[in-house]
Amino acid sequence: MKTFRKIVIITVFLLATFCLSAFQTMEEDVPTLKNPNNDPLIPLNPMTGTPVSDPDLLTKPPVFVPLARYPSAFRPSSGHSQAQWVFEMYVGDEESRPILMYYGAMPSGSVSRISSAIYGLEELRKQYGGVIFAGGTSKSILESGILNLELWYGTNGNQLYPELPLENYQKFLNKWSKLVYPADPNNLTLNFSEEPPEGGRQADSLFFRYASTNQILWRYDAASGKYYRMQNSVEDPNSLEADVDASNGEQIGVENLIILMAPHEWAPNQSVVYGLFTVKLNYITTEPALIFRDGKLYSATWSTISEKYERDSQRMRPIRFYDNEGNYFRLKPGKTWVHIVMPGNPYYEVEAELGSSITPGSGHWKMPYISFKPGTIEQLQREVEELIAMDIRLNEPYYPYYFDQENNEE
């Protein structure tokens, strides 16, 4: 009997030790979020590191809202300044679309110029366990496996690129909160720090060029600690103006500006001639990223690989960022804007904000978007040749259409 009791006690002790070890390992896999002055009474948004006014919103799923900004008559649109994150993707024909992500906070008013869902959006939604509020969407995308999608055609029921009133946004959010798993703030936690990481390169500006009619300038303002956005228009491609949120008239500004380099591939069941592609974001082991914060540029990596936390919780986590030593990269508390490009997309310093002459050490960065442009091979060739003339050699495996043709000509 004593022997049996000893066996039971030892077994219980070993099980407890194993469970504690597993719990500690899982906790170590998840970034920790600290309140200002370690005050437990101040709830923080795990996606921004800033206080929330309504903690109940942290149990609601993240909401993704794609916006159309072309033609220029669609600008200014509204809702950008209230979004916690914005992911901007290229969709072809010189057009890029910002995808607003709301979590832990509501837009202050209507969100305008709601666009259709696009390829790549489902992978983004899935990564955060969110829902999508979009306008009229093509049959091919609806049949591609997109989930948790709320289609909105405006108050008249037949509008293109409609405005989504706040009351309808709230209605949809309440509806989907009952249909999906409640958001887990611990699952969505990223790492933040007011103090910038050591190192980094001077980054007073970033000139991001999607196309001649779609050029964006981000300018750092030391007083506010934000990067502010300017953009040109189709009608006046040679001038850049402050990009404002129509809901409050404020220029769009963010604490963190990220270039996310992600694999692209042709969209499913689509002919190459249509030039439709998608972005791969799920189960990525590691890919490069550039992170701008506090007037500095940092080289980093990102990952969405499944680890012990995913296996134990059966949930996916947000895109995670790491420094070059493999530690979690600490973002600045606040909002974040992400430009998604392919690995190998060049970037370099130029002599001035809108310059073109390579000038190392200037602090003015330029990135010409030449990532996936199927259907516009001639334009891609011109841009590639321009960069090669400046001794900027591309990562050839990511540009097979150009280099295959180049080799065939030889």
What is the pLDDT at residue 251?
A: 96
Q: At residue 38, does pLDDT exceed 50?
A: yes
Does domain 55-406 fall under CATH 3.50.90.10? My reply is: yes
Lowest mean pLDDT among 138-152, 259-273, 392-406: 392-406
Confirm if 296 and 203 have CB atoms less than 8 A apart. yes
366, β-bridge pairs: 207, 348
What type of residue is 403? Answer: F
Going from the C-alpha of 398 to that of each of 68, 123, 218, 301, 393, the distances in angstroms are 28, 21, 26, 18, 12
CB atoms within 10 A of CB 137: 18
Report pLDDT digits (tens) over 359-368: 999 999 999 8
Nearest to 340 by CA among 226, 155, 210: 210
Grouping H, G, I as helix, E, B as strand and the rest as coil, residue 242 is: strand
Give the residue-averaged pLDDT of 7-33.
40
Going from the C-alpha of 185 to that of each of 100, 149, 176, 318, the distances in angstroms are 19, 22, 17, 11
What is the pLDDT at residue 67?
A: 95
CA-CA distance, 330 to 325, in Å (whole number)? 13
CA-CA distance, 302 to 308, in Å (whole number)? 17
Report pLDDT digits (tens) over 168-227: 999 999 999 999 999 999 889 999 999 999 999 999 999 999 888 889 999 999 999 999
Q: Domain spans of the chain?
A: 55-406
Backbone angles phi, psi at 327, to 5 degrees: -85, 155
